[in-house]
Amino acid sequence: MDFKYVPSTCPYCGNGCGVNLVVKDGKFVGISPWHRNPVNEGKVCIRGNKSYEFVNSPDRLVAPLIKKGDKFEEASWEDAYKEIAAAFKSVKGDAIGVVASARNSNEDSFVLKNFAANVLKTANIDYCGRRCNADAVKGLADAFGSGATTNSLADLSEAKAILIVGSNPLEENPLAGRRIIIAKQNGAKIIVADARKTATARLADIHIACNPGTGVALVNGIITAIIKAGKENKDFIAKKTKDFEKAKAAAAACTPDAVAKVAGIDADVVTKAAEMFAAAQPAAVVTSAGAGSGDLIRALANLQLVTGNVGKAGAGVNLLRGKTNAQGAADVGAVPGEGGLTVPAMIEAAAAGKIKALYVVGENIASAGAHVADALGKLDFLVVQDLFMTETAAKANVVLPSASFAERDGTVTNAERRVQRIRKAIEPVGSSKPDWQITSEIAKAMGHEKDFAFKDAEAIFGEIAKTVPAYAGITYAKLERPEAIQWPEAGGVFGTAILYADKFGTKDGKAAFAAVEYKAVEAAAGEFPFAVAAQWPMGTLSKNTSSIMREWPEARVQINADDAKALGVRDGSRVKVTGKAGSLELAADVTKGIKKGVVSMPAAINAAAVKIEKSTGGN
């Protein structure tokens, strides 16, 4: 019997937990703790713990497929490449779009970016997770000089107070949630703003059940209360920041009474939260990249500048990510070039007939709604590279089978900027290949062999280190240790754990306050009486993991028990959820753990307000 452990990185959320892949007789059979990894210290949530199940799924794609009529037929790689090369050569660059993935490796995204620019001659490249990340990243970059989270996840354990807005770490990023639990055990005060009584909210010393979309008003209210009480860090503001008066003036309208009115909370809660946060040093804020507009990120950055909570342990703006390489995809440039289109803009252009061909790598964009599926149906040519026959792949002309994270080498960069290895543990299923290799071979089929003659993933990373300043000095050899490297590498043996300890990354070295005004969100009223608090959706990997599907077999909509009673809806019954953009049917999760007038569900119809009706024939 051949038995081994292969150190790697979990393929799910942006925590980037270290895992040991257990390999028996050439098969990936389980996960073993990797205690030395500083991100999770051997702890793993159900997703990482059961990641071998999707890798071994019988539904994995194992060979290239070419659509003949309305059916797919297996094809050789050579024939698939010929089909793709001929189609791409017939379309002008600005009529081609490329969609990268935040769950693919840095090497995959780097090669794909160069393929888009140098072979397809298009600026239309974007990674799907950036729909959630773009505003957040820009907000941090404008405030501090870099669009990355400021601190290490481990720093949360050292915080004396933590404000959590637009995030539910204990369920969405569980090992970040673990750090919050440790902080709580160490005496930290926890403030959670959420319309739901989530697992995270149940930790809170103050749970602020604010209406969805009112986070900016709440944070501005806390800032205003701190300044009114004279608790701002005057020395830090004077020496290390600029434009404080502009931010102060913009936030001034958010008095406790004004916040209470829009957020549906008591005014004294705002004051209590401000007192608790200002009294603690250090204090951290936690949010998610998909929490909302860049205004929320800028407001949170303002709060940390007001209180001097940047550049030290236990503080900072901690931006949690939904996918394992959301940070890395942005770092290596899988974003629109000058004049290029974002993913939503590509979908609009496809619907209008302006985008003729699309190359989608590792993303199921059709799951975002019927409008995306309809737009894909109008393309002349669609290529999809993935592990499974997703809704997007089903619409493709050519489908190419990707190797999983356990079947390839590479790197991913987690939310705290830690660049970590993924390592090949088993052979790829069927004839599947790493995404960077597939893209390189398409480039060669189109006559660009010289520029894509990469020997392996390590050679590609060498090019990344040469061209991406934040990665300068990082090598695979330096990533062998479980601590790996947090970029920039120059910060020490394991890189830079905390950004801005000396100065900010702006041109003048000072952080910039922003004049952030609260803008009212779409009100829940009239035809659509329920505000929506979005849940994380189930993705391709989870849906192909049997243990997860046994626990959560379908999406559900959370409804307050009193609201459900008024609607005649029982727990588990089917309901029709309708917003301005469409409707869908879900099972009802009737609970007291959500605010009246608010429902929570996956953001499948992209609605701020909806109506709920009993489904025809439902119980």
Which of 3.40.640.10, 1.20.150.20, 3.40.50.2000, 2.40.40.20 would CATH assign to domain 530-614?
2.40.40.20
Q: What is the mean pLDDT of residues 549-570?
A: 90
At 581, the pLDDT band (50, 70, 90 cuts) reads confident
The rounded distance, in Å, linking the Cα atoms of 284 and 325 is 23
Of 56-60, 123-127, 137-141, where does mean pLDDT reach its minimum?
A: 137-141
Task: Tell me how far apart the alpha carbons of residues 90 and 399 are, in angstroms, rounded to a whole number.
Answer: 19
pLDDT of residue 618: 43
C-beta separation of 523 from 607 below 8 A: no
Give pLDDT tens digits for 340-371.
Answer: 999 999 999 999 999 999 999 999 998 877 88
Q: Which residues contact 616 (CB under 8 A, 6 or more apart)?
A: none
Contact present, 438 and 400 (Cβ < 8 Å): yes
In this predicted model, which residue has the larger pLDDT, 607 or 181?
A: 181
The residue to which tokens 């995030």 are assigned = 167
Domain segments of the chain as ranges? 3-55, 65-129+325-491, 132-320, 530-614
Beta strands in 222-282 (DSSP E): 241-242
pLDDT of residue 128: 75
Beta strands in 347-392 (DSSP E): 357-361, 381-386
pLDDT at 563 over 80: yes
Pairing, β 283-288 against β 398-401:
unpaired
Q: In this predicted model, what pLDDT tens digit does every residue of 458-482 receive, in sequence order?
A: 999 999 999 999 999 999 999 999 9
**Closest CA relative to residue 136, chosen from 287, 250, 14:** 287
pLDDT of residue 228 exceeding 60, the answer is yes
In the structure, what pLDDT confidence band is assigned to residue 605 with cuts at 50, 70 and 90? Answer: low
Here the tokens at position 108 are 């995959």
* This prediction's pTM: 0.93
Surface-to-core class of residue 101, CB atoms within 10 Å of its CB (0-12 exposed, 13-18 middle, 19+ buried): buried
Sorting pLDDT into bands at 50, 70 and 90, what band is 619?
very low
pLDDT of residue 548: 87
Residue 13, Ramachandran bin (φ over 0: left; ψ between -120 and 50: alpha; else beta): beta
Q: Which residue's entry shows tokens 């729909």?
A: 131
- Asked if domains 65-129+325-491 and 530-614 share a fold, the reply is no
Sign of CA dihedral 377, 379, 381, 385: negative
Burial class (CB in 10 A: 0-12, 13-18, 19+), 390: buried
Q: Which pLDDT does position 367 carry in this prediction?
A: 83
Q: How many residues are recorded in the chain?
A: 619
Following DSSP, what letter does each residue of 443-481 receive, concatenated? HHHTT-TGGG---SHHHHHHHHHHH-GGGTT--TGGGSS
Question: Mean pLDDT over residues 145-150, rounded?
Answer: 92
Q: How far, in Å, are 162, 209, 364, 462 from residue 169 at the CA level?
A: 12, 16, 24, 34
Q: What is the pLDDT of residue 16?
A: 95
* Cα-based torsion angle of the residue sequence 44, 46, 48, 54 in order, rounded to the nearest 10 degrees: 160
- Contact yes or no for 132/290 (Cβ under 8 A): yes
Assess whether pLDDT exceeds 70 at residue 291: no
Banded model confidence at residue 540, pLDDT cuts 50, 70, 90: confident
Distances in whole angstroms, Cα of residue 522 to Cα of each of 317, 342, 517, 532, 605: 27, 24, 16, 10, 15
Q: Which CATH number fits domain 132-320: 3.50.30.40, 1.10.490.20, 1.10.10.10, 3.40.228.10?
A: 3.40.228.10
For 65-129+325-491, CATH number out of 3.40.50.740, 3.40.50.410, 3.30.530.20, 2.40.240.10 equals 3.40.50.740
The span from the first CA to the last CA of the chain, in angstroms, equals 54
Tell me if 112 sits within 8 A of 326, measured CB to CB: no
The superfamily in CATH containing domain 3-55 is ADC-like domains (2.20.25.90)
Give residue-wise pLDDT tens across range 304-348: 999 999 999 999 999 998 889 999 999 999 999 999 999 999 999
